[in-house]
Structure formats: C-alpha cells, structure tokens
C-alpha cells in the first residue's frame, strides 16, 4: 500500500499582523520533523503543499534535512479555509448573546481560552450549513475542494509511493470527515487537538484510503521540550 503523510504546518504567528508566517518555534518544529523523518529513513516520492506561506515554509524547513527530497509541488486544494472570513461573516449572528465577542476575537493572543471558545462556536455555525452566505465558502464546498486535491494525488500515485502533504488543521479535519465519515462536529473536536507539525498517516490502494494514524508528534515529545508542543 502507498502512504500519504498529512503534516500540519508549524506554529504560525497568532496575534501578529500577519498570521501566515512561521514563528521561530514553528521553524524549529519543522526542522525537528525533517530530522526525525531522516532518522527513520523515510523516502518520499512526492511532496505537496498548499500555497499558504506557513505551509510552504514548513515543507522547506523540513525537507532540507531529507536526502533526495523531491521538488515541492503546490496545490491550493490543501489550503486552510478562510478563518477570517468565517469570523467576519458569522460573528454578527452571535453578538446578541455574546456582546463581548468582538473584543475577545480582536485580542485573541491575550485571551486564548476565550478566543477558542468563541471560535469553536462560530465553526459549529459554519459546519451546520444553516448560516451559509454567498460571500463565504461553505463547509461543504471546502470539503469538496479538499476531496479534489486528494483525488488528484490518487490519480497520479501508484500503490508503493510515499507522499507528504504539508497542510493545515482544517484541511486535515476535512480529510478525516471524508475518509472516516465521522460527523463534522466530531471531526472538529479532533481538530482542536492537532499539534503543529504532527503527522497523520493515510494508507491507500487505488482509490481506497484508510486512516492509519492521527496526530503523531513523537518527534517533538522525544525532545522533552514542552514549549515545542503547540496548537496554533
């Protein structure tokens, strides 16, 4: 069987003006991942990234430690969904019951627990399909986008290939939904646990795909450096 390694990007710059940049911790996480894969002797036949900078930078920092790594390919299908658009479109609908929501969301880096609580509430509204808007990509459309990327991989792959996909938590969540048929709400409960640069492994034969492992971050745990285990 072939293998697809789903790799979440390293820690991004949460709370900064530009989130789509790896923090110094994110760069270190990616380097540790690459060193770990090299020690395991993992041979990669293809490497694919979404087009977001944090995804590509993670790939570049990891792949520099792997001998004979293939050229990085870019596929927008593995981009994260537009979290800012979800917040902008759906937050007005919760202001009556959560009047403090705007202040919390604007200052998320200083109040991470409250930010996560509100963000999870907005995601529930998004995935329900009951609040779809013409100017906002729906959850179903996002899942279809990710499915298209997966199908393109499978069309070109043979059953002996090892393929790395550098992507984001929401994209991995959509793939979990597609492959395991877990309800979207349960999939997002798993999403909140996905560690930066963690590995989730898919095994495939032809068009059949199964989940072999989820959210492995042994490469970080072995360093016994808790500050490297991050979730955003």
Task: Report whether 6 contacts 201 (CB < 8 A).
Answer: yes
**C-beta neighbour count of 125 within 10 angstroms:** 18
Q: pLDDT tens, 41-72? A: 999 999 999 999 999 999 999 999 999 999 99
Write out the E strands in 142-226: 162-167, 199-205, 208-216
Would 184 be classed as within a structural domain?
Answer: yes
Domain membership of residue 101 (yes or no) is: no
| Partners of 22 in the β-ladder | 12
Specify if 130 maps to a domain: no
Mean pLDDT across 202-211: 95
For residue 20, the Cα-to-chain-centroid distance in whole angstroms is: 13
90 located within any domain: no
pLDDT, one tens digit per residue, over 70-100 is 999 999 999 999 999 999 999 999 888 888 8
CATH number at residue 67: 3.40.50.1240
Closest C-alpha among 5, 47, 1 to residue 202: 5
Res 226: pLDDT: 94
- For residue 28, the enclosing domain spans 2-81+160-228
Band the pLDDT of 18: cuts 50, 70, 90. low
- Tell me what the pLDDT averaged over the chain comes to: 93
Domain count, the chain: 1
Question: Residues of the chain with pLDDT > 70: what percent?
Answer: 98
pLDDT at 15 over 60: no
Quick check: is 126 in a domain?
no
Q: Which of the four pLDDT bands, split at 50, 70 and 90, describes residue 16?
A: low
The reply to whether 69 falls in a domain is yes
pLDDT higher than threshold 90 for residue 115: no
Is 80 exceeded by the pLDDT of residue 108? Answer: no
Alpha-carbon span 81 to 142, nearest angstrom:
7
What Rg, from alpha-carbon coordinates, does the chain have? 18
Helix axis angle for 53-63 and 24-40, nearest 10°, is: 40
In a domain, 149, yes or no: no
Tell me whether residue 104 is in a domain.
no
């Amino acid at each position: 069987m072939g293998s697809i390694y789903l790799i979440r990007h390293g820690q991004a710059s949460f709370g900064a003006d530009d989130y789509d940049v790896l923090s110094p911790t994110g760069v270190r996480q990616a380097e540790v991942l690459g060193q770990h894969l090299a020690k395991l002797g993992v041979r990669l036949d293809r490497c694919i990234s979404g087009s977001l900078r944090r995804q590509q930078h993670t790939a570049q920092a990891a792949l520099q430690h792997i001998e004979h790594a293939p050229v990085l390919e870019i596929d927008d299908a593995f981009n994260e969904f537009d979290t800012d658009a979800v917040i902008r479109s759906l937050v007005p609908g919760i202001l009556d019951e959560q009047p403090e929501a705007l202040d919390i969301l604007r200052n998320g880096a200083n109040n991470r627990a409250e930010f996560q609580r509100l963000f999870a509430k907005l995601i529930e509204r998004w995935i329900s399909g009951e609040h779809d808007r013409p100017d906002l990509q729906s959850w179903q459309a996002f899942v279809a986008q990710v499915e298209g990327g997966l199908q393109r991989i499978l069309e070109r792959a043979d059953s002996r290939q090892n393929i790395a996909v550098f992507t984001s938590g929401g994209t991995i969540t959509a793939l979990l939904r597609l492959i395991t048929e877990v309800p979207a709400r349960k999939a997002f409960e798993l999403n909140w646990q996905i560690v930066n640069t963690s590995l989730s492994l898919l095994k495939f034969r032809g068009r059949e795909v199964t989940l072999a492992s989820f959210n492995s971050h042994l490469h970080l745990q072995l360093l016994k450096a808790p500050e490297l285990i991050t979730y955003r």
